[in-house]
Amino acid sequence: MNETELSELLTPSGFFRFLGQQAKLDSEEAKRIYRLGTPWGLWPPDLDISREAAEAGVGLFTYLAALQPLIDMDTEGKQAQLTAYEATLIGGETTQPFPAVRAYVEKVAALSGKDEATICSLLHALYTYRQRVGQLSIRKISESSRHRMEQDQAAANLKLQRALVVETEQHNGLL
């Protein structure tokens, strides 16, 4: 894992750069549209990940890693709704299966002056962002755990070596 990537994604500039790259927009344009569309409904409005992690007594990345299966399920559902809506844009479907998605996309398109396909691209980028940060958090926790285990093993080996040296010296002193 590139820990720098995770750190960068958690900054405002990294966030907007990621959105822009994923949605094929300039990062400033992604930022402008994002701000016009706030709130995007990616998280429950009362969710405060930092506070909840602190209350649970775990680090932020551990908390994000633990949430990732739920985030993935939610993202898959939202992606499916968005994809169904996108089918209506290209004429593949004539029904509007998710009126809330349609209403939101059309609202942000009107506010931003962009077409609905661009707003859909930005939504897909936001969903991808949630998953990427979660995946990187899981890797960070795994690598931290592996590093901690390696340190514990090295400390145990050193302790064993010292005990063997003491035992050997005691044994040699008895001879």
Amino acid at 56: A
Q: Indicate the pLDDT class of residue 172, thresholds 50, 70 and 90.
A: confident
Q: Which residues contact 34 (CB under 8 A, 6 or more apart)?
A: 16, 19, 40, 122, 126
pLDDT at 1: 45
pLDDT in tens, 48-82: 778 888 888 888 788 888 888 888 888 888 898 89
Stronger pLDDT, 136 or 23, i.e. the higher one: 23
pLDDT in tens, 81-120: 898 888 888 876 656 667 888 899 999 999 999 999 999 9
Q: Indicate the pLDDT class of residue 31, thresholds 50, 70 and 90.
A: very high
- Is this prediction's pTM over 0.75? no
Most confident of 31-40, 56-65, 108-117, 157-166: 108-117
pLDDT at 141: 83
Q: Which residues contact 32 (CB under 8 A, 6 or more apart)?
A: 112
Segments making up each domain of the chain, as ranges: 3-174
pLDDT in tens, 128-151: 998 888 888 888 888 766 656 666
Please spell the DSSP secondary structure of 92-117, one letter per residue: S--S-S-HHHHHHHHHHHHHHT--HH
Q: Indicate the pLDDT class of residue 7, thresholds 50, 70 and 90.
A: confident
